[in-house]
Amino acid sequence: MKKKSVVVTSVMAAVLFGCSVLAWTKETDAFSDSERRELAKYPKFSVESMMDGSFMEDFESYTLDQFPFRDLFRKLKARIVFDVWGQKDNNDIYIADGYASKMEYPLSKPMLDHAANRFEYLYETYLLDAEDIYFAIVPDKNYFLAEQNGYLSLDYEELISYMNEKTDYMTPIDLTGQLKLEDYYYTDTHWRQENLTDLADYLLEAMGAESAEQEYQKIESEIPFYGVYYGQAALPMEPDTLNYLTNEMLEDCKVFTFETGKPVEIPMYDMEKAKGKDPYEMFLSGTRPILTIENPHVDNGEELIVFRDSFGSSLVPLLAKAYEKITILDIRYVNSSMLGQFVEFGDQDVLFLYSTMLLNSSLALK
Residue 342 and residue 91 in contact, taking contact as beta carbons nearer than 8 Å: no
pLDDT at 92: 82
User: Which residues, 6+ apart, have CB-to-CB distance to 209 below 8 Å?
Assistant: 302, 304, 319, 322, 323, 349
Which residues share a beta bridge with 308? 353
DSSP code of 81?
A: I
Helix (H, G, I), strand (E, B) or coil at 163: helix
Orientation angle between helical segments 156-166 and 109-126, nearest 10 degrees: 30
With vertex at residue 244, the alpha carbon angle to CA 270 and CA 364, rounded to the nearest 5 degrees, is 60
The pLDDT, as a whole number, for residue 191 is 97
How confident is the model at residue 93, as a pLDDT?
Answer: 86
Q: Can you give the pLDDT at residue 12?
A: 47
At residue 11, the pLDDT reads 44
Please report, for the chain, the start and end positions of each structural domain, with discontinuous segments joined by +.
Answer: 26-100, 109-359
* 284 burial level (CB within 10 Å; 0-12, 13-18, 19+): buried
pLDDT (0 to 100) of residue 41: 64
d(CA 188, CA 225): 9
SS3 content of the chain, % helix, strand, coil (to 5): 40, 20, 40
Q: Where are the alpha helices (DSSP H) in the chain?
A: 2-25, 47-51, 54-65, 70-79, 109-126, 142-145, 156-166, 197-206, 228-233, 248-252, 271-274, 312-315, 356-359
| C-alpha span between 57 and 53 (Å, rounded) | 6
**Looking at this protein, which amino acid is placed at residue 132?**
D
Of 191, 171, 176, 205, which Cα lies nearest the Cα of 321?
205
The DSSP letter of residue 126 is: H
Tell me the three-class secondary structure of 277-334, residue by residue: CCHHHHECCCCCCEEEEECCCCCCCCEEEEEECCCHHHHHHHHHHHCCEEEEECCCCC
Block means of pLDDT (10 residues each) for the chain, 366 residues, are: 51 47 54 54 66 58 54 52 57 88 93 98 95 96 94 95 97 97 96 97 95 91 86 76 95 93 92 89 93 96 96 98 97 95 93 98 96
